Amino acid sequence: MSWKEKFKENFSKAKEGISLTQYCGLGVGGKADFLFVADTVNDLVGAVVAAKKSAAAYRVIGFGTNVIFSDTGFKGLVIVNRTAGLNIDSSTGKVIAESGVSLSKLILEAATAGLGGLEPLYGIPGTVGGAIAVNAGAHSVSIGDYLRSSSVLISADKMLSAKRDWFKFSYRKSRLKYSHLNSPPVVLNAIFQLQRRKEEDILDGIARFKKERQERQPIGQKTCGSIFRNPTGSDQMKSEEDRFRTAGYLLDSAGAKQLSSGGAKVSKIHANWVINKKNASAHDVRDLIEKMRNAVEEKYSLTLLEEVEYLGDWKNA
């Protein structure tokens, strides 16, 4: 019996041959062998356990930002995480969020309860689980700074209550990022410890960071966020010189805003963002990313490393 037959026996809720374009921020990618939208933690666990028991490769995604699916699709199960549980204790500052909760929703609802700290991350287009996996951050604040613990599904019969140190957070990275495992650990929920502050001060901060993103990023277009990590290994701007070592500056000064490939183009607003301008393929995007990297290498003899992750079969793409 093939893994597909085993999986269908173990889990009949998944749909077959679904295009991944609508589940990827860039709007690219082929079809998934199987796709399932998990609305509850029980659904999420059930899908992962069924995949593990069937020896099926799987990946859990949120809003599909920070990932790019190959044109050949994904050979296995793609689980779209839409879990939405959120509990906020304003007296203790403790926030419990299921991994499919929008990061911006968590920040805004915490703000209305007088809890702050994560407002620099407002507007990052992702879920709590995805943000933890990549240690999402901005303006010297990362989500890992406020994570207290998390429930992580390790295997079909093992769940771990993981403390912050377990994730091995670093700049735009955790032990869950770039693991390249066919059956990676899955974040189910997270507990954050936020800070008591005046609601109006937190909301002012959110408004300021929201405005900055709207001015400096191509909001509302098909994108996957920043393509490359800063070569300094930090987004902290301690001096004016630091600005000249960001991926965005290096790409801009190397002429990346003039680059395109097929339907994919570098944003005119921010040189570290790629947009799907007109029916771009995943191959177009990957080709453009290489052009961007090459432009910086030629001018600065410096190799930029991706922040985004490639999923699916790219060897035969």
Characterise 211 by phi-psi region: left (phi > 0), alpha (psi -120 to 50), beta (else). Answer: alpha
Any catalytic annotation for residue 307? yes
Identify the burial level of 238 via C-beta atoms within 10 angstroms of its C-beta, where 0-12 means exposed, 13-18 middle and 19 or more buried. exposed
Count each helix (H run) and each strand (E run) in the chain, helices first: 8, 18
What are the Cα distances from residue 33, in Å, to 3, 15, 19, 24, 30? 11, 8, 9, 16, 10
Rounded to whole angstroms, the Cα distance separating 144 from 113 reads: 21
Annotated catalytic residue, options 54, 226, 267, 281: 226
Residue 290 is a catalytic residue: no
Give the CA count within 13 Å in the CB-facing half-sphere of 37.
9
* Dist CA 250 CA 257 (whole Å): 11
Residue 312 DSSP label: S
Rg (C-alpha) for the chain, rounded Å, is 20
Known active-site residue 98: no
- Choosing from 54, 104, 119, 172, which is the catalytic residue? 172
Q: What is the DSSP letter of 8?
A: H
Q: Are 303 and 297 in contact (CB under 8 A)?
A: yes
Alpha-carbon gap, residue 22 to 311, rounded angstroms: 15
Neighbours of 247 (CB within 10 A): 25
Give the closest residue to 104 by CA, choosing from 80, 78, 79, 86. Answer: 86
Residue 166's region, left for phi above 0, alpha for psi from -120 to 50, else beta, is alpha
Give catalytic residues, as residue numbers: 172, 226, 307
